[in-house]
Amino acid sequence: MDHRIRQAEAYLDQCRHQVDRELDRCLARNATSERLQETMRYSVLGGGKRVRPALCMAAARAMGSDESTALAPACALELIHAYSLVHDDLPAMDDDDLRRGRPTAHIAFDEASAILAGDALQTLAFALLSDAPALSDRQRVTMISELARASGHQGMVGGQAIDLESVGRQLSVAQLEAMHRHKTGALIEASVRLGALTSETVTECQLSNLTDYASALGLAFQVQDDLLDIEGDTEVIGKRQGSDAARAKPTYPALLGIEGARQHLARLLDEALSALESFDSEADTLRAMADYVVARSH
């Protein structure tokens, strides 16, 4: 596993350089408001592991696509993720003041600027996909539909709504997983599916297996996040340690205990890797990414 984690870290570094360079180029275009542009750049280019873009590009690799064809969808995914973090941190939502080791956007700027920056990042994501030169018209339309569904009321936004409604409530494990399949898992599934869709020859069976991989991985990502909120260090994880418990948010450790959450994490890793059994070495990067997700410290 150690070798695969190192492989994933190296791949993340490679993808981060490519994605950050492209995002910097996209966000350098003149905006109507200089303050809006500054807030957008602060929110996107201020760090981050770029796990979702890396999963997108790794899925393209697994399908034998040229990874350059996945750059536009990878960037679109990161823009959606960045917008969601900006809005989640707002006082009306999670009311966080620290993100990636820096003040959150509404603290560094102001609440109105943060809201507008999130709105602009969301629409920029779809503009990037609609203009992607390496993709066919059919691929663009399919990917736009996939990303819209994953990020909207049937996916990430719906999951955040359930999360806000669940504060202080006792949820079952099934209810908690349903919430996180939307809030966290939907965009991770979309990351893998968009990468796979860079191949014009992807089969329904391949797409189904990759979706199963991403579904298990999305939940694993959240379980590890919940564990880090308890066991992590604020300086390392880049946000306030213990913030979930302070807001009485339902978490896996709260329901299963810390050891139970670790066992659940191990089962989800097994599910993710089992879903890739029909793929050969071309999916090794996806396997490495799964190991990384469950072992990360931030």
CATH number, position 123: 1.10.600.10
pLDDT at 297 over 90: no
Report how many domains make up the chain: 1
Residue with tokens 């809005």: 87
Structural domain boundaries, residue 241: 2-295
pLDDT at 243 over 60: no
Task: Quote the CA–CA distance of 144 and 132 in Å, as a whole number.
Answer: 11
Higher pLDDT, 173 or 29: 173
Query: For 28-94, where are the alpha helices, taking DSSP H only?
Result: 34-44, 51-62, 71-88
Which pair of structure tokens corresponds to residue 223? 């379980």
Which pair of structure tokens corresponds to residue 149? 């569904």
Higher pLDDT, 189 or 32: 189
Q: What percent of the chain has pLDDT over 90?
A: 80
Of the candidate ranges 19-23, 46-50, 110-114, 144-148, the one whose mean pLDDT is the lowest: 46-50
Q: What does the pLDDT average to over 18-33?
A: 90
Task: Quote the CA–CA distance of 219 and 176 in Å, as a whole number.
Answer: 10
pLDDT tens digits, 172-198 = 989 999 999 999 999 999 999 999 999
pLDDT at 241: 52
* Region of residue 199 (phi > 0: left; psi between -120 and 50: alpha; otherwise: beta): beta
Task: Quote the CA–CA distance of 166 and 62 in Å, as a whole number.
Answer: 37
pLDDT at 266 over 80: yes
Q: Is the dihedral of CA 58, 64, 70, 73 positive or negative?
A: negative
Q: What does the pLDDT average to over 97-126?
A: 95
pLDDT at 259: 94
Identify which of 183, 204, 221 has the alpha carbon closest to the alpha carbon of residue 278. Answer: 204
pLDDT tens digits, 72-101 = 999 999 999 999 999 999 999 989 999 988
Q: What does the pLDDT average to over 55-78?
A: 97
Task: Quote the CA–CA distance of 96 and 86 in Å, as a whole number.
Answer: 10
Task: Quote the CA–CA distance of 215 and 203 in Å, as a whole number.
Answer: 18
Task: Quote the CA–CA distance of 117 and 135 in Å, as a whole number.
Answer: 27
What value does the mean pLDDT of the chain take?
A: 92
Residue with tokens 């900006």: 86
Is 130 buried (19+), middle (13-18) or exposed (0-12) by CB count in 10 A? Answer: middle
pLDDT at 244: 57
pLDDT tens digits, 198-241 = 999 999 999 999 999 999 999 999 999 999 988 755 554 455 55
Beta-strand relationship, 98-99 and 102-103: antiparallel
Confidence grade of residue 46 (pLDDT, cut at 50, 70, 90): confident
pLDDT at 237: 47
Cβ(99)–Cβ(84) below 8 Å: no
| Type of residue found at 170 | Q
Task: Give this prediction's pTM.
Answer: 0.93
